[in-house]
Amino acid sequence: MSLCVPKICVLNKILIVWMTVVATLSCLGHSKSEFEAIFNFENSNSDTGRFWAAFLAQPGPYGMTYFKRPVGRATDGRLIVDFLAQALGLPFISPYLKSIGSDYKHWANYATLASIVLLPNTSLFVTGISPFSLAINEVPDSDCCCLELKRLPSLDIFGKSVYTFYIGQNDFTSNLAAISVGGVKQYLPLVSQIAGTIKELYTLGGRAFLVLNLAPVGCYPSFLAGLPPSELDAFGCSIAYNKAVVDYNNLLKEALSQTRGSLPNASLVSLVYVDTSSVLLELFRHPTSHGLKYGTKSCCGHGGGTYNFDPQVFCGNTKVINGKPVTATACSDPYNYVSWDGVHATEAANKLTTLAILNDTFSDPPFPLEQFCDLHGIA
């Protein structure tokens, strides 16, 4: 059966972060979970194939660990969104725009590789920024002309959903050079738009929001390559970049606090700041304490050395350098690495981060999911 493009409606410039819309969410030990869906709009950290459905096919060795082939994920295996779905007893979520082999009974993942919060002012082919900005994401409504109604969630789904946000990394890293000039306050529009989106979703019936903060990009091999040792801390991470991350996350946390207090019936709303940055920072700094071996070194890359990252040739690609073709290949043990390709985390790191989210150690205020559902184990 062919799947044609549905009629679209716009949800007031949805600028969310990490969305997966899932219908009829059922957890182990309960006849029905309190939540029937998870809305997720994000970037490559949870893109399950939307970008690759629209543009070039993804090469190997992406997907090598769990799926054994490329499946549109920018890592070797599963993402945080995949592990979260497994923990809640859900299937993996099909990416929006992928018409072949998708199951939209559990809705679609709107996350897109290289997406940003703000509207892009350039082309994908110039800077690599995705045209699928969160400012222009659209969601099909009940009048969709091509999808069967039984394949769509119920009309009252907004009040029965968890909204997860994990966005802003590409906006942040695309302008790192300006941090010393304008300071982190230049990113106030990002946190303001995220807060504004939460308010809009509240008016639609949303009551549970999880906002994951910005990752410690100062530990990413792609940003460390070429930096002098004097700019690194005792763990080999960029002092300046991670300080900017801390400043940004403080802005985000304060904006969420103000938003939480401004919502009507605030006591009935769960607006949670999730400090996944601290989780990843711990993994980068002390990988061996968590069953890993390498923190700031890429599994998939070229050049070996401290970072195994060459900005001239990315994971899975081949390029002629100094007259010779070179290929960025993957290590044989990605389960020992925090960084997959210098930009994204490995499946192993994604799993550890998800476990931290589920046990509620890094949530403010606390949001123990086990109070709403009996969680499945993550394998």
Active site residue ranges: 44, 341, 344
Between β-strands 208-212 and 270-274, what pairing exists: parallel, antiparallel or unpaired?
A: parallel
Q: Helices (DSSP H) in the chain: which residue ranges?
A: 50-54, 80-87, 124-127, 169-173, 179-182, 188-203, 221-224, 239-262, 276-285, 347-358
> Closest by alpha carbon to 41, among 155, 168, 214?
168
DSSP 340: S
Residue 352 CA to residue 336 CA, distance in Å, equals 12
CB-based contacts of 189, cutoff 8 Å, min separation 6 = 118
Amino acid at 351: K
Token pair of 137 as six digits: 């994401």
Helix 347-358 to helix 276-285 angle (10° resolution) is 130
Say which residue the tokens 């997966």 belong to: 20
Q: How many CA atoms lie within 13 A of 75 on its CB side?
A: 26
Token pair of 152 as six digits: 């769509």
Q: For residues 117-143, b (16+ Cβ closer than 10 Å) or e, as one string?
A: bbebeeeeeeeebbbbbbbebebbeee
